[in-house]
Amino acid sequence: MTDGIILIDKPAEMTSFGVVARIRRVLTQAAQKKVKVGHTGTLDPFATGLMILVIGKECKNAEQYSKLDKVYEATFLLGQISTTGDPEGELTEVSNRQPTADEIEAALAKFKGPIMQRPPIFSAIKIDGKRAYKLARDGQEVEIPERQITVHSLDMIDYSYPNLRIRTHVSSGTYIRSLGVDIGAVLGTGAYCTTLRRLKIAQYTIADAQQLADFGISN
């Protein structure tokens, strides 16, 4: 393939840019010429799931794919917070209080519909041309303004303290890590995201995605 899209199931512990680079190398070798490959929205290294890669001439339409709604499943660990909102950050104990399932449902209800959300400082958002996470890692003060996103649905799949598993359908630009942090704040327990999997991007589903192994790529 030298033009079009490829659906990939990103494995954990690999960056989105790493996925792009590996697929580019395979396609370039197969075509015996340089093939342009881009992504339409990153997933954090710890996260897994659906990525839409744009190939060749389709790269010019990357922004159209990035604006599509997405569906995720995630696990939030209650009782602690993380500097990055995920397992890679420095953890701090907050509370050992165990909310009831009813309290969880009430907290989730506060985040349905159009809401304001502040993206995490450890993100790929650019500030004055530099990635926010690079500035944060350099010890610089990073302030990212809130922005409006839409949570179309947010459902509890399972709750066994301290683990809360949810499924959510959200608009483009939503950070699930931030959602977990904000839910933890409402509960008064703190929380951070321990697992994250993207299942759908609009009509594109994880069931139709290929594994890197299908391209002869090992993790």
Q: In which residue are the tokens 């993207």 written? A: 198
> How much is the average pLDDT of 164-174?
97
Give pLDDT tens digits for 68-86: 999 999 999 999 999 889 9
Measured distance CA(25)–CA(167) in Å, rounded: 34
**Sign (positive/negative) of CA torsion 78, 48, 50, 35?**
positive
Average per-residue pLDDT for the chain? 92
- In this prediction, residue 120 has a pLDDT band, given cuts at 50, 70 and 90, of confident
Instruction: Outline which parts of the chain fall under CATH 3.30.2350.10.
Output: 4-67+202-215, 70-201
Least confident of 122-131, 156-165, 172-181: 122-131
Looking at 124-128, 150-154, 203-207, which range is the least confident one? 124-128
pTM of the predicted protein model: 0.90
Close Cβ partners of 21 (under 8 Å, ≥ 6 residues apart):
none
More reliable by pLDDT, 133 or 10: 10
As a whole number of Å, the end-to-end CA separation of the chain is 22
Q: What is the pLDDT of residue 118?
A: 85
Compute the distance between CA of residue 136 and CA of residue 140 in angstroms, rounded to an integer.
5
Res. 132: pLDDT tops 80: no
Q: Which fold is adopted by the domain 4-67+202-215?
A: Pseudouridine synthase (3.30.2350)
Residue 212 has what pLDDT? Answer: 96
Residue 219 pLDDT greater than 80, yes or no: no
For residue 114, is the peptide bond before it cis, meaning its omega torsion is within 30 degrees of 0? Answer: no
Residues 6+ apart with CB under 8 A from 109: none
Please determine, for residue 148, whether its predicted confidence score (pLDDT) is greater than 60: yes
Q: CATH assignment of 70-201, given 3.30.2350.10, 3.30.70.270, 1.20.1250.20, 3.90.78.10?
A: 3.30.2350.10
Q: Which residues are catalytic?
A: 44
Rounded distance, CA 162 to CA 100, Å?
A: 11
pLDDT tens-digit series, residues 25-54: 999 999 999 999 999 988 999 999 999 999
The confidence score (pLDDT) of residue 108 equals 98
> Which band of pLDDT confidence, cut at 50, 70 and 90, is reported for residue 163?
very high
